[in-house]
Chains A and B, each alone.
Chain A
Amino acid sequence: MSRRDPALLRGLTRTRPTRRTVLGASALALALSACGVRGQGAQDAPGEDFWEGKKSNGKLTFANWPLYMDSERTQLKEFTEETGIEVTYDEAVQENHSFFGKVQPKLADGASIGYDLMVLSNGIELTKLIELDYLAPLDHTKMPNFDAYAGEMYKNATYDQGNRFTVPYASGITGIAYNPEYVDREITGIADLWDPEFKGKVGMMADPQEVANFALLLYGTAPGESDKKDWEKAVSRLEEQREAGIVRRYYQQDYIQPLTNGDLWISMAWSGDVFQQNAEEGTELEFVIPEEGGTLWSDLMMIPYTAQNPVDALMLMDFLYEPRIAASLTEYINFIPPVPEARQEIAEKAEEASGDEKEELEALVDSPLVFPSDEDYTHLHNYVPLSAGQEEEFSPMFLAVTQA
């Protein structure tokens, strides 16, 4: 049909107006597109007077990760009973960077992001949030529960000295998980992840900070004290591991299924994931804190500076630090609560319970994955502390390994 279309042929051969139109159009388009992008710092950076004149509005919106609260939202219901404040809960946080990417433009514009309280992990996004002045400074005079009940290691972490902007919601350990069905011997440390015996069956994490921590710890460098030279050595160790074909893949969080079905035999893993998997599906995956050291990370509660109901958010933050509330939360999410007394609460509840429930609660109480001992804590490190400038060097180095 079009083969015989003389108009098309004529048009193809008539070049002058086409070229002129194209040039003119592209000049216009270029002009339109040459405007830059302005700096993304907060419009009206929150100062110490942030809380002046603010009062409770009776409601708040809470953004959290999936599977971080039971589907009945028991703790939120208790909060509403006690204070009368209504809470809208949204499992909006899938990944730190995607959530950050979503809220960042609105925060840069000084607009509300639709949430008053959000939970994000410590790491690069947190650094960005703090340096861009997107977070409201917390008023600790209104947080008696945190003061009284939070464990010592959760106050004053390297990523947020003095808990100026954040308090932990739940913490976890990054260690090594393995499937005893396929692994005959006992796994003890990070060196096992480099063992050629497990070629093609080893999982590592894709997050640059996680993978960097392990590579640094492998040769005895604490992440908190590492510098650029250490990072470079870490990168070369990781590249060796990858080039030898030992690493199957760099996983985001989806290593559990491959571990269960035999695609992976051993992997970097988060404590709560292993616990939940064993509890829900009856698998027998093992989790160890490496002898060279593991990392302790936290998912932190924070209030954006454009929140509509910051006072209510602050009240909920503090409410979750009551030991019995922290205990009931831990029963579901199986990650480490920032309240050590929660363990006592669960132990007491276990004594009064019976049958299956008693077994589950006792398993929780005894689990070093949920309640690490003091000795365990000595083996745990924080992430590498990075300022925004350092992060621009750090990330590309390690992303080059995981995104080869």
Chain B
Amino acid sequence: MTATTEEARPATRPAARRRPRRRIDWGKYFTWAVIAWLLSPIAFMIAFSFNDAQGRHNVTWQGFTLHWYADVFAYPDLTRALVNSLLIAVLTMLIAGALGGLLGLALGRYRFRGKPLTDLVMFSAISAPEVVLGAGLLSMFLTMNIATGFWTILIAHVMFSVSFVAITVRARVLALDPALEEAARDLGASPWTTFRLVTLPMLFPALMAGGLIAFVLSIDDYIITTFVSGNTTTFPLWIWGTTRVGTPPQVNVMGTLIFAVGVLLAVINAVLARRRG
């Protein structure tokens, strides 16, 4: 077999390896086109945060201005909604990070009864459509007569984020070299100290990544939040409410700022990950 290929090779490709191929890399242009397509509404949003819109509708360009940035908190309801969103997102990141991290660690490390059931439940929680999750939670809160509001939103957000964090952490755990922890234990460290000083720092990038996922999922969530928000407004909910009468430029400003912070966090995470190797 090898003999035939060796003979066949020179016949089909003589000096191709040495001559630089001048083929158009369609893939590259296509990928860049897709990326541009994905980012175009973002560019639109950022551009129109500088639009000197006169009326209530911020869709035609009327001139450059910075005063929306100065006037960001002109709408107290919008500010309150943004604060709610940020607060919920941070709390979700912390709680889902903790729960999901522990779950991921256990799934990657230990054998225990109910592992396949856990896999099934996690898989279902991730793939279940938001409408179903939201409807389910609302149904449960109705039958138990629990008032919907801030805390029910938080409960819902943690619920759908936990699985994402767990999967991220598990992937990392499975790739960890147990030698380091064994070494620590050989040197006499207790399991808790080993965990604190060796395991946790090694898991940190995965926890950060998972936490970031949880943050983004939470701050962006619209459908599930609609079902369980009660009296509380979050940022996406407020924006949705304004589609009836016109979305003010302050929304674009806040969107731009959140985007900028998100980009910063992602870049920092990437740099840290590379440094840890």
Contact = CB atoms under 8 A, between A and B. Distances in A.
A102 B231 contact: yes
Interface string B110-121: 010111110100
A403 to B, nearest CB: 15
Contacts of A47: none
Interface in A202-247: none
Contacts of B77: 90-92
Nearest to A101: B230
A173 to B, nearest CB: 18
A300 to B, nearest CB: 19
Contacts of A114: 231
Contact of A106 (B114, B115, B147): B147
Contacts of B117: 18, 21-22
A28 interface: no
Given A1-B171, A94-B244, A260 B116 contact: no
B35 interface: no
Interface string B41-81: 00000000000001111011000000000000000010000
Contact of A37 (B119, B143, B147, B244): B143
A281 B54 contact: yes
B8 interface: no
A75 interface: no
Contacts of A253: 244-245
Interface stretch (A5-13, A120-128, A164-172): A5-13
B175 A1 contact: yes
A241 to B, nearest CB: 23
A92 B117 CA distance: 44
B262 interface: no
Contacts of A22: 117
A253 B113 CA distance: 55
A185 B54 CA distance: 30
B115 A1 contact: no
Given A12-B116, A257-B246, A33 B55 contact: no
A36 B143 contact: yes
Residue picked from B142, B145, B245, most chain A C-beta under 10 Å: B245
Contact of A8 (B57, B115, B175): B115
B200 interface: no
Contact of A252 (B142, B143, B244): B244
B1 interface: no
B114 A21 contact: yes
B124 to A, nearest CB: 12
Which of A103, A114, A281 has its CB near the most chain B CB atoms (within 10 A)?
Answer: A281
Contacts of B171: 1
Given A1-B174, A254-B245, A280 B140 contact: no
B129 interface: no
A113 B139 CA distance: 21
Interface in B205-229: none
B148 interface: yes
A35 B55 contact: no
A35 B145 CA distance: 10
Contact of A280 (B54, B60, B174): B54
A36 B143 CA distance: 6
Interface in A272-303: 277, 280-281
Contacts of B139: 33
B113 A17 contact: yes
A378 interface: no
Nearest to A15: B116
B245 A2 contact: no
A82 to B, nearest CB: 25
B17 to A, nearest CB: 35
B191 interface: no
B243 interface: yes
Contacts of B245: 66-67, 253-254
A105 interface: yes
B144 interface: yes
A105 B152 CA distance: 14
A59 to B, nearest CB: 18
A356 to B, nearest CB: 15
A253 B139 CA distance: 29
Contacts of B140: 33
B148 A105 contact: yes
Contacts of A17: 113-114
Interface string A93-104: 011000000110
10 contacts: A1-B175, A11-B115, A14-B116, A21-B117, A33-B139, A35-B143, A67-B245, A113-B231, A252-B244, A257-B59
Interface of B: 54-57, 59-60, 77, 111, 113-117, 119, 139-140, 142-145, 147-148, 171, 174-175, 230-231, 241-246
Interface of A: 1-2, 7-8, 11-12, 14, 17-18, 21-22, 33, 35-38, 66-67, 90-92, 94-95, 102-103, 105-106, 109, 113-114, 252-254, 256-257, 260-261, 277, 280-281
9 closest A-B pairs by beta carbon, nearest first, are A281-B55, A11-B116, A94-B241, A253-B244, A1-B174, A280-B55, A7-B111, A102-B231, A11-B115
Given A90-B77, A105-B230, A254-B244, 5 more contacts: A1-B171, A1-B175, A35-B144, A105-B145, A253-B245
